[in-house]
Structure 1
Amino acid sequence: MTIQTARLSDPAVRAFVSAVNAHDRDAFLALLAPGATMADDGSDRDLEEWVDREIFTSHGHLDVDNESNGGRSLLAHYRNDAWGEMRTRWDFTVDADGRISRFETGQA
């Protein structure tokens, strides 16, 4: 059972999922704290290069199945034109000002 994006608990994570699914790169980047970092399957990646390749040029889409840690950890089905669909986990670090300073993703 998928959780509707509007019902996700954490406002920053909700906005992140909305921006991914709307393919809105500007809104996505606006959610990130200066110097934000990310990791994929345990390896740090260049954030802008990764999001362009894995989300925006490949039409990424998140369907959230479960949330925990106050809405800052997700289990989701992620799909894009490059890899098809896979079950993934997403963990977010959100600064006091509500911007995402780090996210980590990988296969679940």
Structure 2
Amino acid sequence: MTIQTTRLSDPAVRAFVAAVNAHDREAFLALLAPDATMADDGTDRDLDDWIDREIFSTHGHLEVDREAQGGRAIVARYSNDTWGEMRTRWSFTVDEDGRISRFETGQA
């Protein structure tokens, strides 16, 4: 059963999912700490390149099925024009300012 984006527990994660689903690159980037990093399937990736390729140029979309760790970890069905739909896991590190300093994703 899908969790509505507005019902996600963590405000930063809620805003992250909303920005991805709205294809709002500006809002997405505003959520990230200046030195934010990310990893995909355990490998660190270039953040700007990855978000262009996996989210914004390919119409990425998240449907959250479950959350854990106070909302800082989610399992979601992720889809984009390149890969179709897959079950994914996401975890987030949020700094003291409420901005995402790191996120990690991969197949669930």
Q: TM-score, normalised by structure 1?
A: 1.00
Where does residue 70 of structure 2 map in the other structure? 70
Moved over 3 A (4+): none
- SS of equivalent to 1:29: helix
Identify the residue that residue 107 of structure 1 maps to in structure 2.
107
Q: Specify every segment of 5 or more residues in structure 1 that has no aligned partner in the other structure, as ranges.
A: none
User: Which runs of structure 2 are paired with 1:1-108 in the superposition (5 Å)?
Assistant: 1-108=1-108
Identity %: 80
Q: How many equivalent residue pairs?
A: 108
SS of alignment partner, residue 90 of structure 1? strand
CA drift of 1:76 comes to 0.2
1:29-85 CA distance string (max 9 Å, x none) = 000001100000000000010000000000000000000000000000000000000
Deviations 1:79-99 (A, max 9, x none): 000000000000000001000
Q: 1:82 aligns to what SS in structure 2?
A: coil
Q: What is the Cα-based RMSD across aligned positions, in Å?
A: 0.2
AA aligned to 2:42 is: G
AA at the equivalent of 1:74? I
Amino acid at match of 1:102: R
- CA shift, 1:16, in A, is 0.1
Distance 1:102 1:29 in 2: 12
Structure 2 unmatched runs, 5+: none
Q: TM-score, normalised by structure 2?
A: 1.00
Structure 1 residue 25 displacement after superposition: 0.2
